[in-house]
Amino acid sequence: MYIGQVSKDILKWPRPHSPPVVKLEVKADAEYGMPSTHAMAATAISFTFFIVTVNQYKYPFELGLIAAFVFSTLVGLSRIYTGMHTVLDVIGGTLISAVLLALSYPAWDLIDHFLLTSPFCPIFSIAVPLLLCYNYPKLDYYSPTRGDTTTILGAGAGAIIGFWLTNQYAPLNSSSETFQLSFPPISSKRLMVMLARFLVGVFVLLITRQFIRRLALSMLYYWYKVSTSDEEARKRLEIEVPYKFITYSSVGFCATMIVPVLHGLLELI
């Protein structure tokens, strides 16, 4: 995502003009268009999921490949439909993700082992994203791309640290056996447990986001002697990057560490 967001601000290709395009979404209109980061994310997520699970679970190879292709295609088409991207933007985003997947694939196991077992993982997970965010390309005018990038990298950093801690205190049993993908019988009790898990998780994440966000902004406003009513101050580099990173790294950590522990304590398993 960082590569995609930075590429937008380096290439500076405009989004489709309106008219003739009818834009159904205007929130991200201040950003540039090439490449489509939605297409990048959809391609990366769907095909990564397919690649890492095809040998772990018994499901038809063709079915997984079709599912990944359909998902990424639908996301790309949705960006064209909403008027946010051209066909070239979507193709560019898809190709960038495909190249990155191909180049990084040989190192996946090494990266996975490092992020789960290395004592340097927490430091690496915080230092590298922060370094990238603080050195984000400068624009002539404010664009939400830096803030969005910080949000994504922050959430990822928090999630990685949560997985790392979970692995330290509750290591998974590794096995070379192929698992049989099966679905448990659906019952009213199971549905209630699923709903309770969902509601508990969403509640904790929303509370965490609101509390940490306000706390981080208050501390930064006090440190830089900025009025709390100054909404424009949030766009400044020294405030936007730390407050978004702290907020969403906390959310990511809660999602992968705190919420599962809470589910266990409440016996929502």
Q: Is 85 a catalytic residue?
A: yes
**Residues 258 and 129 reside in one and the same domain:** yes
> Does 131 lie in the same domain as 231?
yes
State the total domains in the chain. Answer: 2
Asked if residue 133 belongs to a domain, the reply is: yes
41 and 140 together in one domain = no
Based on the fold, state whether residues 82 and 136 are members of the same structural domain: no
Q: What is the pLDDT confidence band of residue 170, given thresholds at 50, 70 and 90?
A: low
In a domain, 113, yes or no: no
Which residue among the candidates 17, 85, 113, 263 is catalytic per the annotation?
A: 85
The last residue of one of the domains, among 85, 108, 131, is 108
d(C-alpha 100, C-alpha 91), whole Å = 14
- Say if residue 99 is in the same domain as residue 123: no
Its pTM stands at 0.81
Name the band, by pLDDT with cuts 50, 70 and 90, for residue 140: confident
Q: Which range of residues forms the domain containing residue 30? A: 1-108
**Which residue, of 56, 82, 108, is where some domain finishes?**
108
198: confidence class by pLDDT, cuts 50, 70, 90: very high
Residue 72 class from Cβ within 10 Å (0-12 exposed, 13-18 middle, 19+ buried)? buried
141 and 262 in a single domain? The answer is: yes
Reported as type and span, the H/E element at residue 79 is helix 61-81
- State residue 83's pLDDT score: 82
Contact 29, 15 (CB under 8 A): yes
Chain segment 75-96, per-residue pLDDT in tens: 989 888 888 888 898 999 999 9
Q: Please write the tens of the pLDDT for every residue from 233-252.
A: 888 888 889 999 999 999 99
What separation in angstroms does the CA of 240 have from each of 95, 219, 243, 253?
Answer: 31, 12, 6, 20
Per the prediction, the chain carries an average pLDDT of 85
Asked if residue 249 is part of any domain, the answer here is yes
Answer whether 115's CB lies under 8 Å from 160's CB. Answer: yes
- Say yes or no: 127 and 247 in one domain: yes
Is 257 in contact with 166 (CB distance < 8 Å)? yes
Q: Which CATH number does the domain housing residue 29 bear?
A: 1.20.144.10
Catalytic residue among 17, 38, 113, 263: 38
At 19 the three-state DSSP class reads: coil
